[in-house]
Amino acid sequence: AAGTIVKIFNTNHAFCLETEKGAEIVVHMGIDTVALNGQGFKRLVEEGAEVTAGQPVLELDLDFLNANARSMISPVVCSNSDDFSALVIKADGHVVAGQTPLYEIKSK
């Protein structure tokens, strides 16, 4: 989704984005990856940056992460979903950055 990067964690394993419609999206790369203390992650934008859908925010060393992270399953969560009427799942299976919508957030 397009929006403003409002937070990137110091370890670069997760970030928060606010969309133009006010949705607060949390993207967490992998499971228990905070324990890697930033290894395997490189920040490509800074907090406050305006980003477009599909624009890379982080660069991942997948060889390192696949060998050292518990899992690379990466939750993408709307943290203020109660402010919207519905979240409609759009993705199923393999997704492509900037091409595959994960879900649609419907305003109240």
Topology (CATH) of 3-82: Glucose Permease (Domain IIA) (2.70.70)
Confidence of residue 49 (pLDDT cuts 50, 70, 90): very high
Confidence of residue 74 (pLDDT cuts 50, 70, 90): very high
Q: What is the pLDDT of residue 7?
A: 98
Closest-CA residue to 74 (of 90, 55, 97): 97
Domain segments of the chain as ranges: 3-82
Q: What is the pLDDT of residue 87?
A: 87
Q: How far apart are CA 55 and CA 12, in angstroms?
A: 16
Residues 6, 11, 24, 28: which is the catalytic one?
28
Q: What is the mean pLDDT of residues 40-47?
A: 98
Q: What is the pLDDT of residue 56?
A: 95
- The pTM (predicted TM-score) of the whole model is 0.91
Q: How far apart are CA 55 and CA 51, in angstroms?
A: 6
Whether residue 28 lies in the annotated active site:
yes
DSSP E strand stretches across 9-78? 14-18, 24-28, 41-43, 50-51, 58-60, 76-78
